[in-house]
Chains A and B, each alone.
Chain A
Amino acid sequence: MSRLCESLIAKSIDVACEDLTFRGVEPDGLIINRSDIDMAAVEFDTQCPNIIKKLPLLSNKRGYEVVQLGNTPFTGTATSMEQGTYKNSWTNTLPLAIIANGPETSADIIDKLANGEFVVILRNKAKGDNGKSEYQIYGFYQGLRATAGENDKYSDDTEGGWLVTLTETRAPKSAIFLYDTNAETTKTAYESLKGAA
């Protein structure tokens, strides 16, 4: 028996279509257990240090889709600067609303989110030149960890679902992006992280 209490997410965070509590758009992102990333094989762009060209996962690992409802999906996502004694750093905050509740949701998503360390890739609406700004990576350096979690039965926002806030503190870079060659190639690389094909 392993002595390590793993907190690996095992289910996509998406929408239970049959249990919709309110309507909205479904912008999607990707959540990866940070320990599943093959850090030794990560490749940064030689020209721009804030671009990751290759973000491979370890064998038989995969990323999971994260889908959020509402007109302003992933609302509250922000990056703010923290002043340090010797060096300033960045704090990334990423709230996730899980509009579902039940044993499977609790076991596979909420409990894992509460204790795990994650990397999330969000797709910006502003794509930038040739799609360079589309895929923004959060949690690469320090990992996103849950700093708040709530299940308010009478919440006007989550309608009885869960709201978990993931935070990365002391990240050395303000933002990093996934980008390889062009928009099409980057999309292929992003899709390949799902391990779906």
Chain B
Amino acid sequence: MSFEEAKVKAERLRGRFDAPFSFSDKKEIEVMYWEVLGKRLSPTNCQQCYHDALIEIYLYLKNNNKMKEKSNYRLRAGFIINTPAFNNGKVYSNANLTDEVAESYLAKYPKQVKMFEVLPKGFSVKSVQTKAKKAEAEAAKKAEEEAKIAAEKEAEAKRLEEEAKKAEAEAEAAGSDEGAGEGTEEGTGEASPEKEGDGEPKTENDAVGEE
């Protein structure tokens, strides 16, 4: 079912919203619920449940302008992913399962393929493991590069800091030499900004005059 088809169907069913849905309408809503939202609507006697489902479908189409992307992997009913050693023990069910999570889980625990009732076409544990290894290698490479860049930056910062310190020390040494030689009243030999008249206006008139 395409997005356009779903939209037209939802609009049509919405027009009959105030009347009870027929058997075929209910079937149509069940199908749309899966196609648009990727969730199963349990067949039921409850008319209100179908009305609620239609509102959910309609609002999703209106707000997102697309149908929900479905995972290529689907767990069997009753199975969840709940492994302390996987993704810090985060719990996954069909509601939050993504292809990436499923693939990385199966790469790590290939025997758990029995937990899935839907797998992508051409799926094999080996291919998933290869993909995971590749992704892992890429991630490691990226992390290494990032670490290298960070180390370079750190070294550069350190070098600049050392240079600044060195320059400061040299300036201090030069200053003390001059001070000792001239024997001025100030003693330090460092230039005083106020005494040098560095442009700091003393009065408003001075400032205007300078402008």
- Does B48 lie within 8 Å of A195, measured CB to CB? no
Name the one of A16, A56, A65, A100 contacting B42, with C-beta atoms under 8 angstroms: A65
- Does B82 lie within 8 Å of A15, measured CB to CB? no
Whether, in the assembled complex, A196 has its beta carbon less than 8 Å from a beta carbon of chain B, the answer is yes
Whether, in the assembled complex, A130 has its beta carbon less than 8 Å from a beta carbon of chain B, the answer is no
Name the one of B39, B41, B114 contacting A41, with C-beta atoms under 8 angstroms: B114
Residues of B within 8 A of A60 (CB): 117
- Does B45 lie within 8 Å of A105, measured CB to CB? yes
Whether, in the assembled complex, B91 has its beta carbon less than 8 Å from a beta carbon of chain A, the answer is yes
Whether, in the assembled complex, A61 has its beta carbon less than 8 Å from a beta carbon of chain B, the answer is yes
| Given contact pairs A56-B79, A62-B77, A192 touches B47 in the complex (Cβ within 8 A) | no
Interface of A is mostly: loop
Whether, in the assembled complex, A72 has its beta carbon less than 8 Å from a beta carbon of chain B, the answer is no
Q: What's the minimum C-beta distance from A179 to chain B, rounded to whole angstroms?
A: 12
Stretch of A74-82, A84-92, A166-174, A183-191 at the chain-chain interface: A183-191
Whether, in the assembled complex, B153 has its beta carbon less than 8 Å from a beta carbon of chain A, the answer is no
B residues neighboring A (CB under 8 Å): 20, 23, 38-49, 75-80, 82, 91, 93-95, 114-115, 117
- Does A192 lie within 8 Å of B117, measured CB to CB? no
Residues of A within 8 A of B47 (CB): 16-18
Count A interface residues, CB 8 Å: 40
Using CB atoms, name the residue of chain B closest to A57. B77
Using CB atoms, name the residue of chain B closest to A41. B114
Name the one of B40, B49, B82 contacting A180, with C-beta atoms under 8 angstroms: B82
A106 to B24, CA, bound (A): 19
Residues of A within 8 A of B93 (CB): 188-189, 191-192, 197
- Chain A contacts with B in 126-173, Cβ cutoff 8 A: none
Whether, in the assembled complex, A11 has its beta carbon less than 8 Å from a beta carbon of chain B, the answer is yes
Residues of A within 8 A of B114 (CB): 41
Residues of B within 8 A of A104 (CB): 23, 45
- Does A11 lie within 8 Å of B40, measured CB to CB? no
Using CB atoms, name the residue of chain A closest to B48. A17
Residues of B within 8 A of A193 (CB): 77-78
Q: What's the minimum C-beta distance from A173 to chain B, rounded to whole angstroms?
A: 20
